Amino acid sequence: MNMAVDQAWLEHSTIPVLRIYTWDQPTVTLGYAQSLPKLQDALPGWPVVRRWTGGGVVLHQEDYTYSVIVPPADPWSETTALESYRRIHGSLAEALSHNGHPGCRLALQEDVIEAPFCFVAPAVHDVIRGPVKVAGAGQRRGKLGLLHQGSVQQVILKPEFWTQWATRLAKEVLTVDTAPEPVLARATELEQKRYALTEWLAERDDHLPRV
């Protein structure tokens, strides 16, 4: 359902959205292009879901999970992948440094490690603190706009952190506790016809109409 809500927001939103959410149990998310059979033996015995975005394996247990959702009419959706990572993670690194986690910075090319598990493998413009990766993300870009799904780990954050970070990203911030009904209705359909399916997890196949 978490993956479905993110996609539904992308389909319906007319303004940028910063969504903060948690998991009701430890969960693994796989990047869109990753092979489950190749990774299966290395995964913990947790529920697994495939994301619509790229990136590596993320273990969601004590992390903070967020999404930046940008509709196609907003100029941010037209930035290159590398530039959007730099903007989002640069702002996040500054917010973390100003909220009790000094030394957070963007990873450079010399910090990059190639591995399927996201948080042992910094990519360019991920957020690191010393040798530790504290924030990574995957993206999907297309006619619907930009979906950036991120995870923050290895830090403790106060609830007000997210509103403070949002004010770094936008001039005006409106806080809501739940998604609008059309988003939730579409998310329920996406959960049933895509994200809950074994076909989606194994082969990226779903039961949605082809357009």
Catalytic positions, written as ranges = 118
Contact 118, 58 (CB under 8 A): yes
Comparing CA positions, the residue from 4, 6, 58, 5 lying closest to residue 30 is 58
CA 141 from centroid of its chain's CA atoms: 13
Contact 186, 168 (CB under 8 A): no
DSSP string over 158-205: -TTHHHHHHHHH-SS----SS--HHHHHHHHHHIIIIIT-HHHHHHS-
